[in-house]
Amino acid sequence: MASSISVINRLSLNKVRFPLFWQMLLAMSVMLCLASGVLWGYLQVNFQQLVQKQTDTFAHTITQQAANSAAEMLMADDHLALSAMLENLVRSSENIHSIAILDEKKNAVAQAMGKHLIQNPFSKIYQADILFHDITAGFIQLKIDHNIIRESLAKTQNTLTLIIFGIGILAILSSIFIARKLTQPLKQLQEITQLVAQGDLDPDLPIIKNNEVGDLIKSFKHMLKGLRDKESIEGKFNTYFSKDIAKDILSDLKEAKKPLKSVTGSVLFVDIVGFTQLSETQSPQQIAHILNQYYSLLHQVSKIYWGSVDNYIGDGAMLTFGVHVNDPKHPINAICAAQVFIRLSESLNLQRTKENLPPLQFRLGLHCGEMLAGAIGDHERMQFTITGDTVNLAARLCDLANPDKLIISEQIYLHSSCEALLVTEACQSFLVKGKKHPINGYAVIGLAPQFNRLLMQQESELKAMQEYV
């Protein structure tokens, strides 16, 4: 149980956010406080020792000088002179509690008392021999009042404490300044990182300084430039390729040439009927407008059903489903895209007829199977392509389709995703160029009623979008 609690406590502590600013401030404050404490203790001990040493030196000097001066007066029994000398010594220092001259039998001959006398003094007695021709004639005793010394020492210690405290406050303020100075650019980088995550690749960066934080900002600036270049490249790629194809190409930029890979999916070919004759009656600008209008429609329809327009081929287009994204129902999604496109193109034709413009009809062919996908070419000119027998057969089925009709292969018809959902004409056998044996195809009339309602809803949404545009 105890171990479980300790594990929980560790996990909870790991989740506690402790900002870097407070970490740095706490670390520097603790170090400064420890340094100040050590300095204060060191000064206290050494100052006390120094004061005690100075006091002892002073007392020994006074006693020795008094002993030297009192020798002749003691031998002459000049007690008055001895008392006068002692009084002068007492007046010269506030630390002297009392001083006395004793004869050889240690009887007091003369003495003087200090000005600051207290009831119970903390004093220390210092003694020196009074010598006359190397014969001890008496003694001098000096009593030093340590209370006065202690009071002076306490005042000095208080002053020292205030100085150390002031230094500590300044040190903490300096720590706050330094911590803020170091962490502010990092906080700004954090905010900038959030902006970058939201899509802003050109934020305002802090001023670059000549330190480690400045180096970090330089690296971050270089990274942003790389992201902007990448975004620009992706934008240009998305202009000329579908989003899925652009992603595949950009993922292979590090490789000089990636070999073709085997993929499985559905391929839908769309071709304009009678495009040659139409081109003869329309200007290039009108032809471009027509193609852009219908290609835009193809792109929108493919996106709804997880497909992509892989290539525009003159007056036609090749769409793939399940190639760039994992979609186990790519056959039925491709059929839905084709049906919606046919219905929307019929609506556009009605509008074109009202404007006295020639209507457009399309042939569509759909097949599924394995293909090869990837970039082909040399180092100077590369092209992303999807190739294989599956692609060729889809193109052949498109050529065989009647106007505004979709022909699907037998593989599409028998796919599990299309089971009981298709309404088709009877199976037809087609002779296809490049095939020894005829292939079976089905002309799609529509979808099952329960599935057709969703199809009509998506058709209405796209039609509304077209009208809005």
Instruction: Look up the CATH number of the domain holding residue 43.
Output: 3.30.450.20
Q: What pLDDT, on a 0 to 100 scale, did the predictor assign at position 11?
A: 45
- Residue 8 confidence class, pLDDT cut points 50, 70, 90: very low
| Within a domain: 165 | no
Determine the pLDDT at residue 124: 76
- The pLDDT confidence band at residue 146, using thresholds 50, 70 and 90, is low
pLDDT higher than threshold 60 for residue 30: yes
322: left (phi over 0), alpha (psi -120 to 50) or beta: left
Provide mean pLDDT across the span 292-299. 86
- The pLDDT score that the predictor gives to residue 16 is 55
pLDDT of residue 270: 95
Are 389 and 347 found together in one domain?
Answer: yes
Between 139 and 34, whose confidence is greater?
139
pTM passes above 0.75:
no
Higher pLDDT, 212 or 300: 300
Is 6 inside any structural domain? no
Residue with the larger pLDDT of the pair 89 and 233: 89
User: Averaging pLDDT over each range in 58-72, 352-366, 372-386, which range is the top one?
Assistant: 352-366
Whether residue 419 contacts residue 451, with contact meaning beta carbons closer than 8 Å, is answered with no
Residues in the chain: 469
Same domain, 56 and 113: yes
Q: Of the candidates 150, 168, 185, which is a domain's last residue?
A: 150
The residue ranking higher by pLDDT, 54 or 359, is 359
pLDDT-derived band at 12 (thresholds 50, 70, 90) equals very low
Torsion sign, CA atoms 169, 173, 178, 182: positive
The 3 state secondary structure assigned to 212-255 is: HHHHHHHHHHHHHHHHHHHHHHHHHHHHHCCHHHHHHHHHCCCC
Which residue type, as a one-letter code, is found at position 92?
S
- Do residues 114 and 235 both lie within one domain? no
For residue 210, the model assigns a pLDDT of 66
How many angstroms separate the CA atoms of 319 and 302, rounded? Answer: 7
Which H or E element spans position 321? strand 316-321
Q: How many domains does the chain have?
A: 3
Q: For residues 325 and 428, state if they share a domain.
A: yes
The answer to whether residue 397 sits within a structural domain is: yes
The pLDDT confidence band at residue 13, using thresholds 50, 70 and 90, is very low
Domain assignment present for 188: no
State the pLDDT at residue 19. 64
pLDDT computed for residue 239 by the predictor: 53
Verify that 231 and 265 share a domain, yes or no: no
Do 179 and 28 touch, CB atoms closer than 8 A?
yes
pLDDT at 378: 66
pLDDT at 269: 96
Among the candidates 239, 268, 298, a domain finishes at 239
Structure confidence at residue 201 as a pLDDT band (50, 70, 90): low
Please indicate, yes or no, if residue 135 is contained in any of the structural domains: yes
| pLDDT surpassing 70 at residue 463 | no
As a whole number, mean pLDDT of residues 165-175 equals 76
Lowest model confidence (mean pLDDT) among 2-6, 157-161, 266-270, 314-318: 2-6
Query: Would you say residue 175 lies in a domain?
Result: no
Average pLDDT for the chain:
77
* Radius of gyration over every alpha carbon of the chain, rounded to an integer in angstroms: 52
DSSP 315: T
Which of 296, 271, 455, 443 is closest to 363 using CA atoms? 271
**How far, in Å, CA of 256 to CA of 262, rounded?**
19
Q: Strand ranges (DSSP E) for 335-447?
A: 362-377, 382-387, 405-409, 422-424, 428-430, 439-447
| Residue 386 backbone dihedrals phi, psi, to 5 degrees | -125, 125
Query: Rounded CA gap, 308 and 317, in Å?
Result: 11
The reported pLDDT for the residue numbered 397 is: 93
- Give one word for 314, left, alpha or beta, with left for phi > 0 and alpha for psi -120 to 50: left
Angstrom distance (rounded) from CA 340 to CA 347: 11
Residue range of the domain that includes 212: 201-239
Inform me whether the pLDDT recorded for 54 exceeds 80. Answer: no
Answer yes or no: is 304 within a domain: yes
Helix, strand, or coil (residue 301): helix
pLDDT for residue 256 is more than 50? no
Least confident of 203-217, 279-293, 399-413: 203-217
Contact (Cβ atoms closer than 8 angstroms) between residue 180 and residue 21: yes
- Do 335 and 459 have their domain in common? yes
Per-residue pLDDT at 193 exceeds 60: yes
Taking the C-alpha atoms of residue 424 and residue 442, their distance in angstroms, rounded to an integer, is 6
Q: Given strand 135-145, what is the order of strands in its sheet?
A: 108-113, 96-103, 135-145, 123-132
- 335 shares its domain with 366: yes
- Interatomic CA distance for residues 105 and 130, integer angstroms: 12
In-domain check, residue 279: yes
